[in-house]
Amino acid sequence: MATVTSAAVAIPSFTGLKAGVTPAKVSSTVKVAAFPASKFSVKASLKDVGVAVAATAASAILASNAMALEVLLGGDDGSLAFVPSSFSVSSGEKIVFKNNAGFPHNVIFDEDEIPGGVDASKISMSEEDLLNAPGETYAVTLTEKGTYTFYCSPHQGAGMVGKVTVN
């Protein structure tokens, strides 16, 4: 712990200086007083630290389950592509398709390239619906395990096709 004690400081004064004249000596004394620094301590038991670590880990797990996978519609370089174009998700994980570049875009799941029993019209945007502005999104949650192929109807001919595997 550092301690500051009071001290006397002499401060010279330079007022009234004239060339060739010897000034009278003027000085002042200032006293500086300081109080001892206060001490504090933090004590935590090993049990408290363990509880904090467990709570933090539980929060991280819950937050990761609530997160969604983001797929960009159009590459940063202006390419007509899904970025990423092929990826995997867990059953029930949300996929957010986000308009990025080269729009308008939409997301249509190919009815011939999805697991049996899945209705493509329930997981796809309609052919007429388009995302027209940067940042607009379309979200879908797939629960049936398998491989799904999707495309952007305005740009399918340009190769804007993607694939997701649901585990």
Active site residue 67: no
Q: Residues 130, 154: contact at Cβ < 8 Å?
A: yes
Q: Which of the following is catalytic: 1, 67, 125, 155?
A: 155
Q: How far is CA 98 from CA 66, 67, 82, 140, 148, in A?
A: 17, 15, 10, 12, 18
Distance (Å, whole) CA 108 – CA 106:
7
List the one residue out of 135, 74, 84 whose CA is nearest residue 105.
74
Active site residue 1: no
Q: Which of the following is catalytic: 1, 67, 125, 160?
A: 160
Q: Which of the following is catalytic: 1, 67, 105, 125?
A: 105
- Give the active site residues: 105, 152, 155, 160
